[in-house]
A and B are shown apart, each in its own frame.
Chain A
C-alpha cells in the first residue's frame, strides 16, 4: 500500500527491485498461508495422510513396546524400570505439547491464522492427558522405588502444576461459547504460561532444596545403557507420532464441530425469521 504514496522519480532501480521482490515474497507467503488456512483443503490433505500416520504410529508403538518388554531388568530396580519406557515419553510430551500450543497461540494473535486456534484447542486435552499419564506412571514407579505414591519432589511438583495449568486452560476453553473469542483469551494465557513455566520450575527446585536437602532418587542419574536407550528413543518417536496423529484427528473433529455449530446457528436464525 505504501507504494502508492511514493513519488516514482524518487525510486532507484534497486529499490524498485526490492519492492517488487518483497511483493513477490508477500504473495508467496500469502499463497501458502491461504492454502493451509482453508479448512476444506486441510481436511482433504489430512484425510490422505491419516492412514499412513496411523499405520506408522501403530508399527512404531508395537516395535517400541516389544523392545521395552525384552529389555533386560535393571540390577537395582528390577522389572519396574520398564515403567520408564512409558513414563519418559509422556513426561517429554507433556512439555512439548505446551510448546506446540504456544506456537499456535502466536499464530492466533499475530497472524490470525484460522487453523491456529483449532490446533491450540485440540492440543490442550491431549497435553493434559500426557501430563496425567506422566504423573500416574511416575507415581506407580515411585511406589516400589520410594515406598510412596506421592513425594513432594521438585519434578513431580512442577509436573503437577503443569497439569493444573492445562486444566485451567481447558476450563477457559469450555467457559465461552464463541470459539474465536475463547481462542484469543486462551492464546494470551498460553503465552503467559510459556513464560511462567520456567520460572515455576526454577522456584519449585529452590523450594524443594530448601525443604528437603537430600533427594530420594535422581531419575536417570547415571548414563543410560544402550539396552535401555534404544527402546526409549523408539518409544519417544512413537509417542510423538501418536501425538501428531491424535492432534490431526482432533483438529478434524473440531473443524467439523464448528461447521455443525455454524449450520445450527443458521438454522436457528432462519427459524426465528
Chain B
C-alpha cells in the first residue's frame, strides 16, 4: 500500500514540476475552445447550443495529448523496468499511475471547465452539468487511454498511432458524456446517461490496468 501511495505521490510531483507538462493539457483545452468560435462563427446562441459538445471534445483531445507521458518518461529513465519487475502487482501499479495521471492532467481540465463555459456563454446549470459529467467521464478516458499508452511505449511509437488506437474506444464515453450534459440542460434525462457514464468509468477501472499490464509484461523485453 505504501509503495502504491509513494508511486502516486511521485508521479503527481513529476507531472506538476518543471518538465512534467501536465498543465499543458489545460492550455491545449483552452486553445481548442478558443479556436471553435473561429470555425463556427461568433454567434453566441449557436455557441451556447454547441457548448457542451465543444467542451467534451476539447477535454477528450487534451486528455489524449497528455497520455503519451504516462509511461514514456518512466521508460526513458528505466524506472518502468523496475516497476514491472517489482513485487507490487503490475496491474495495481498501472492503476496507481493512471490515477496519478488523472489527478495531475484530468482533474485540472474539470476545474478549468467553468472558466471556459463563460467563453461559450453557458449558464451556471449547463456549466456545472458539463463539469460534473467531465468529472465522472475523464477517468474512463485516462484508464482506457492507458492501454494505448502501454502499447505505444512497448512499440517505441507514440503520437498519431496512439490517437488512432485510443479514439475509437472513447466513443461511448463521448456519447454518454454529451448526452448527460444535454439532458441536464434540456431537463429531459440526466440520470440514465449519467449512470451509464459512471458505469463506463468503473468498467475502464477494471479493463484498463489489466490490459495495460498485459501489454507491458508481454511487450517489454
Residues of A within 8 A of B (CB): 109, 161, 164-165, 167-168, 171-172, 175-176, 181-182, 184-185, 187-189, 191-193, 195-196, 199-200, 202-204, 206-207, 210
Whether the pair B165, A168 counts as a contact (CB closer than 8 A) is yes
Interface residues of B in 163-184 (CB under 8 A from A): 164-165, 168-169, 171-172, 175-176, 179
Q: Is B211 an interface residue (CB 8 A)?
A: yes
Whether the pair A192, B175 counts as a contact (CB closer than 8 A) is no
Contact for A181 among B147, B150, B155, B211, CB less than 8 A: B155
Q: Name the residue on B nearest A203 (C-beta).
A: B172
Q: Name the residue on A nearest B164 (C-beta).
A: A168
Q: Give CA–CA (A195, B157) in the complex, Å.
A: 24
**Stretch binding the partner chain, chosen from B82-90, B92-100, B115-123, B213-221:** B213-221
Whether the pair B168, A161 counts as a contact (CB closer than 8 A) is yes
**Chain A positions within 8 Å of B207 at CB level:** 192, 195
Whether the pair A185, B219 counts as a contact (CB closer than 8 A) is yes
User: Closest CB-CB distance, B144 to chain A, in whole Å?
Assistant: 8
A-B contact pairs, 25 of them (CB 8 A): A109-B214, A109-B218, A161-B171, A164-B168, A168-B165, A171-B164, A172-B165, A175-B157, A176-B157, A184-B215, A185-B218, A185-B219, A188-B211, A192-B144, A192-B169, A192-B211, A196-B172, A199-B172, A199-B203, A200-B171, A200-B172, A203-B171, A206-B196, A207-B175, A207-B179
Whether the pair A185, B172 counts as a contact (CB closer than 8 A) is no
A204-B171 CB under 8 A given contacts A181-B155, A185-B154, A191-B211: yes
**Chain B positions within 8 Å of A196 at CB level:** 169, 172
Whether the pair B154, A181 counts as a contact (CB closer than 8 A) is yes
**Chain B positions within 8 Å of A204 at CB level:** 171, 175
Whether the pair A206, B175 counts as a contact (CB closer than 8 A) is yes
Q: Is B151 an interface residue (CB 8 A)?
A: yes
Q: Please indicate which of the listed interface residues B165, B168, B179, B203 has the most CB atoms of chain A within 10 Å of its own CB.
A: B168
Q: Name the residue on B nearest A201 (C-beta).
A: B172
Q: Name the residue on A nearest B172 (C-beta).
A: A203
A interface SS class = helix
Q: Is B161 an interface residue (CB 8 A)?
A: yes
Q: Give CA–CA (A185, B211) in the complex, Å.
A: 10
Q: Give me the 4 closest cross-chain CB pairs, A-B, nearest first.
A: A203-B172, A184-B218, A188-B215, A207-B175
**Chain B positions within 8 Å of A192 at CB level:** 144, 147, 169, 207, 211
Q: Give CA–CA (A74, B71) in the complex, Å.
A: 57
**Chain A positions within 8 Å of B110 at CB level:** none
Contact for B215 among A164, A165, A185, A203, CB less than 8 A: A185
Residues of B within 8 A of A (CB): 144, 147, 150-151, 154-155, 157, 161, 164-165, 168-169, 171-172, 175-176, 179, 193, 196, 200, 203, 207, 211, 214-215, 218-219
Q: Give CA–CA (A168, B171) in the complex, Å.
A: 15
Contact for B176 among A175, A185, A187, A203, CB less than 8 A: A203
Q: Name the residue on A nearest B166 (C-beta).
A: A168
Whether the pair B151, A172 counts as a contact (CB closer than 8 A) is yes
Whether the pair B165, A188 counts as a contact (CB closer than 8 A) is no
**Chain A positions within 8 Å of B171 at CB level:** 161, 200, 203-204
Contact for A206 among B164, B165, B179, CB less than 8 A: B179
**Chain A positions within 8 Å of B219 at CB level:** 181, 184-185
User: Closest CB-CB distance, B203 to chain A, in whole Å?
Assistant: 8
Q: Give CA–CA (A210, B196) in the complex, Å.
A: 15
**Chain A positions within 8 Å of B218 at CB level:** 109, 184-185, 187-188
Q: Give CA–CA (A242, B172) in the complex, Å.
A: 33
**Chain B positions within 8 Å of A187 at CB level:** 218
**Chain A positions within 8 Å of B169 at CB level:** 192-193, 196, 200
User: Closest CB-CB distance, A108 to chain B, in whole Å?
Assistant: 9
Q: Give CA–CA (A105, B177) in the complex, Å.
A: 31
Whether the pair B200, A172 counts as a contact (CB closer than 8 A) is no
Whether the pair A182, B211 counts as a contact (CB closer than 8 A) is no
A171-B161 CB under 8 A given contacts A181-B219, A192-B207: yes
Q: Name the residue on A nearest B217 (C-beta).
A: A184
